[in-house]
Amino acid sequence: MLRPPSCFWILLAMLLLVSNVGMAQTAQTASAAQKAPSKLALRHQDREECTKQAVQQNIAERDRAAPVRNCMAERQASRKASKK
């Protein structure tokens, strides 16, 4: 029969092994997401970039909706044109 300290070390080792397997699977899915970003991810990128541009142009926050929307539409249109 195993003594309590021995059981502790065995359980700790098993926990570390299981967590490493989980990390490896997460890394694979993250690398797959970088290869082909989803539409939602592209939309978030576009919104961030267009909002940064609007801030740099000193557009008031209450007036930013239309310029950001137009910028996002232009970026999406250029992306679609480059696919063709």
For residue 21, is it within any domain?
no
For residue 5, is it within any domain?
no
For residue 72, is it within any domain?
yes
Instruction: Give, in order, the Cα–Cα distances in Å from 58 to each of 10, 55, 62.
Output: 60, 5, 11
Range(s) of the domain holding residue 58 = 38-84
Domains in the chain, number: 1
For residue 9, is it within any domain?
no
2: its two tokens = 């195993």
Instruction: Answer for the pair 64, 43: CB distance below 8 angstroms, yes or no.
Output: no
For residue 77, is it within any domain?
yes
pLDDT tens, the chain, 84 aa long: 556 677 777 888 888 777 776 665 555 665 555 677 888 999 999 999 999 999 999 999 999 999 999 999 999 999 999 987
